Structure 1
Amino acid sequence: MRLFSRKPKSKTGHPGDDQLLGIIATLAGGTAAPREWIHYLYCETDDGAGLLEAAASRAGWDVHRTAAGAGIVASRADLAVNAETVRVQREYFEALASQVPGGEYDGWEAAA
């Protein structure tokens, strides 16, 4: 009998991302199929949102400003949503958000 059980190792480094990937894995195409993927970033100013928008667009994302104007919604549908792409894109968007005043990466969602 084991007294201590090991926690499963995180695939992405983020428990919430791992949980979402577990759900995606059960869908048609699983984590290998490209699907619509949406990321949310916010900041304090319209100028900051403009910087977020320009950078994400240069990186290949379709970008729209949030209704309030001080944030963006970045989407694309040509990437598989798997542990590697999630880890890389979370690192990218967190770093991008850190470059503007009040920048915050608020996470992602993917189409079923």
Structure 2
Amino acid sequence: MADHEHQVTRSVTYLTDAGDWGADPMVDPLIAFYWARLDEEQPSPDVAAKKAVLDDYAHHCADTENPAREMICAVARAVVQRLATVYSGHPDYRTEWRP
């Protein structure tokens, strides 16, 4: 996948840590952090699968016509929160991202 496609994933309307929707398409800090950590990993099927989860998150959260959008995005973000805990020792990891 091209880098510009990764940027699209990082720039979706998102559910904030406070539980409300970002008003404009913005970078979700958790998603950006997790994607950056995955970019540092050696390419593998595991990394590709995790990036696919991020792509799905972006796709479904950008679908403003879907009445289930809020629930889907909240669940997907919760999954990413759990996946990102493996990087909790990283200096950029935020404690509010803990599940």
| Class of the TM-score when normalised by the shorter of the 2 chains | 0.3 to 0.5
User: Which has the bigger relative contact order, CA under 8 A and spacing at least 6?
Assistant: 1
Normalised to the residue count of structure 1, the TM-score between the two structures is 0.32
| Structure whose alpha-carbon radius of gyration is higher | 1
Q: Which has the higher strand share?
A: 1
Q: TM-score, normalised by structure 2?
A: 0.34
